[in-house]
Amino acid sequence: MTTEKPAPLPDSIFEELAIHRDPDNVFHQTMEHVLAASMITELPHHQQIILAQPNNEIIVQFPVRMDDGHHKLFKGYRVQHNNALGPYKGGIRYHPDVSLDHVKSLATLMTMKCALVGVPFGGAKGGLRCDPWNMSPGEQERATRRLTTALSTQIGPEYDIPAPDVGTNEQIMAWIADTYQQMSDGADQQDNKRVVTGKPVCCGGSLGRTKATGQGLVFVLEEAMPSLGIPIEGMTCSLIGYGNVGGWTGQLLSGLGAKVQAVMDHSGAIYNEDHLPAQHLFEYVGKNGGVAGFPQSEPISTEDFYSLNVDVLIPAALEQMIGPDEASLINAKVVAEGANAPTTPRGDEVLMERGVEILPAILCNSGGVTVSYFEWVQNKTSTTWTEAEVDKRLRSHMTEAAARVRSAAGKYHCGTRIASFCAAVELIGEVYQVRGVFP
Ligand code: NAD
């Protein structure tokens, strides 16, 4: 694929949006990608500015009784970026660093992902500023039920459907569904479990949802790597993050004969020249909270981790982890982005200059929302699909999305990242073109 850079964006569009451009702001970075793609695909000006900003930004604050009896005030966010293609859809993150701009960036990326991977949803994201790893299950439950109550008029099974993200899981989705259902009219109560996806299977979740983001990434790699001359069997890889996305990606790749040689997370970086046993490592992280101290490995420094000569580096932790310094160390042939926005624009430039192939995040991590859509459809039609059926459908969405990115890169002579945004905004632009703008 070509790696030509798009032309710089004019300042006039930022002035029109009253935005003081900050190159380090993660929302501004995302917006620049959307605007660059909107200009390359020649969307009319009004569509460019619609996509540059979210439709709705909701902030709620509420008290929660903590286990020691004191009340703590929590701040929650829900940002609904765009619903031209269908109901708003996007995860809820529990993390101490959650901020409005952070959530705006993630909501915008959700709009792009849904359009790219061909699911009829718009983009949204939510966040609760908290430290879930230092909250008891009771505190998490009370905070979740209060958050759901505070957002109850802003979410709904046909309007805005949350899902898990960093710091949240299927248990939290079950509490959201239950709270929302308890607040519903009798006739709608059962159907209203569709208000969230990523639920436990016994509560209406889909088979294959927990591993879906990792599985989607693996399907993209299966499609892309052979054409780069790297077969999956024997392929070496390193991962940043070994939570839901990283852990499942590592296990599934190992199952296909790839070698996970190194993993770095918040607790440190570990290496095994032959390969790390991916499943044992996942169980170890589940028990110990991080990869540090895993017996069948040696600790390595952050610099050594980034410098490893592997076929694929998979960032699957947090945003903005690969800046220019990290990018200049990277010796991987391919960076396949499991996390949202893991590479900064400067990091991106360095990777492109160094000839590293980038498989962009809105392609690689869209498996989660795709299987969330499958869960929503199964709930709506009172059906249950087998895991094999879910995987088959997921593979087809991922393979088609990868082909659309490739085709956009050829058509617009741009790198894969901007091409992935071009493929997404093309579809949304078509919808606005046909339906017009009210009134
Ligand atoms: P998770 O909470 O399960 O795992 C996060 C991982 O990041 C953990 O291994 C943690 O140790 C690691 N981490 C945190 N801080 C770190 C640091 N400073 N350095 C290195 N590692 C660090 O979260 P997840 O669900 O796996 O999500 C990971 C990324 O994938 C996020 O960007 C998320 O938005 C994105 N994503 C998740 C899904 C999903 O279905 N879970 C879907 C699409 C995108």
- Give per-residue pLDDT as tens, 27-51: 999 999 999 999 999 999 999 999 9
Give yes or no for residue 306 CB within 6 A of ligand 1.
no
Place of tokens 């909270």: 289
Report residue 72 as tokens. Answer: 């703590």
Distance 338 CA to ligand 1 centre (A): 8
Q: What is the 3-state secondary structure (H, E, C) of 132-168?
A: HHHCCHHHHHHHHHHHHHHHCCCCECCCEEEEECCCC
Place of tokens 């392609």: 363
Torsion sign across C-alpha atoms 403, 407, 408, 413 = positive
- E strands, 108-235, are 123-129, 160-164
Give yes or no for residue 317 CB within 6 A of ligand 1.
yes
Give the contacts of 211 (CB within 8 A, at least 6 positions apart): 248, 252
User: Looking at residues 154-165, what average pLDDT do you find?
Assistant: 97
Report residue 55 as tokens. Answer: 């439709």
Query: 323 burial class (0-12, 13-18, 19+ CB within 10 angstroms)?
Result: middle
DSSP state of 162: E
Report residue 361 as tokens. Answer: 């995040």
| Three-state secondary structure call for residue 99 | coil
Phi, psi angles (nearest 5°) of residue 395: -60, -40
Residue 205 has pLDDT above 80, yes or no: yes
pLDDT of residue 178: 97
DSSP state of 192: G
pLDDT of residue 366: 98
Average pLDDT taken over every residue of the chain: 96
- Percentage above 90 pLDDT, the chain: 94
H-assigned helices in 152-277: 170-182, 212-224, 244-255
Distance 39 CA to ligand 1 centre (A): 31
Pairing state between β 56-65 and 357-359: unpaired
Decide: 418 and 405 in contact? Cβ < 8 Å: no
User: pLDDT tens for residues 163-191?
Assistant: 999 999 999 999 999 999 999 988 888 89
Residues shown for the chain: 439
For residue 436, name the pLDDT band (cuts at 50, 70, 90). Answer: very high
Distance 421 CA to ligand 1 centre (A): 22
Task: Report the nearest-CA residue for atom 7 of ligand 1.
Answer: 317
Residue among 217, 245, 294, 313 whose CB has most ligand 1 atoms within 8 A, to mutate: 245
For helices 100-117 and 416-435, the axis angle rounded to 10 degrees is 80
Residue from 354, 316, 305, 318 nearest 334 by CA: 354
Residue among 113, 125, 165 whose CB has most ligand 1 atoms within 8 A, to mutate: 165
Is the bond into 439 cis (omega within 30 degrees of 0)?
yes
Q: Domains in the chain and their CATH numbers?
A: 1-53+415-439 (no CATH), 54-188 (3.40.50.10860), 212-359 (3.40.50.720)
Distance 54 CA to ligand 1 centre (A): 24
Phi, psi angles (nearest 5°) of residue 352: -65, -45
Give yes or no for residue 213 CB within 6 A of ligand 1.
yes
User: Looking at residues 286-310, what average pLDDT do you find?
Assistant: 97
The catalytic position among 125, 199, 211, 333 is 125
Decide: 83 and 108 in contact? Cβ < 8 Å: no
Give yes or no for residue 123 CB within 6 A of ligand 1.
no
421: part of which helix (H) or strand (E)? helix 416-435
For residue 11, name the pLDDT band (cuts at 50, 70, 90). Answer: confident
Place of tokens 């570990």: 270
Decide: 224 and 234 in contact? Cβ < 8 Å: no
pLDDT of residue 4: 56
As a whole number of angstroms, the distance between CA 366 and CA 361 comes to 8
Task: Report the nearest-CA residue for atom 31 of ligand 1.
Answer: 339
Pick the atom of ligand 1 nearest to 290's CA: 11
Residue 146 has pLDDT above 70, yes or no: yes
In the annotation, is 259 catalytic?
A: no
User: Looking at residues 310-321, what average pLDDT do you find?
Assistant: 96
| Three-state secondary structure call for residue 337 | coil
Phi, psi angles (nearest 5°) of residue 308: -60, 140
pLDDT of residue 1: 47
| Three-state secondary structure call for residue 164 | strand
Q: Apex CA 86: angle with CA 221 and CA 222, to 5°? A: 5
Report residue 65 as tokens. Answer: 């009784």
Distance 133 CA to ligand 1 centre (A): 14
Distance 167 CA to ligand 1 centre (A): 8
b/e for 259-296, b at 16 or more Cβ within 10 A?
bbbbbbbeebbbbbeebbbbeebbebbeeeebbbebee
Decide: 291 and 242 in contact? Cβ < 8 Å: yes
C-alpha dihedral over 118, 119, 125, 131, to 10 degrees?
Answer: -100
Decide: 38 and 51 in contact? Cβ < 8 Å: yes
Decide: 239 and 414 in contact? Cβ < 8 Å: no
pLDDT of residue 91: 97
User: pLDDT tens for residues 353-409?
Assistant: 999 999 999 999 999 999 999 999 999 999 999 999 999 999 999 999 999 999 999
Decide: 297 and 275 in contact? Cβ < 8 Å: no
User: pLDDT tens for residues 206-236?
Assistant: 999 999 999 999 999 999 999 999 999 999 9
pLDDT of residue 2: 42
Place of tokens 């436990």: 200
Decide: 373 and 349 in contact? Cβ < 8 Å: no
Give yes or no for residue 290 CB within 6 A of ligand 1.
yes
Other Cβ atoms less than 10 A from the Cβ of 229: the count is 8
pLDDT of residue 6: 67
Residue among 171, 318, 366 whose CB has most ligand 1 atoms within 8 A, to mutate: 318
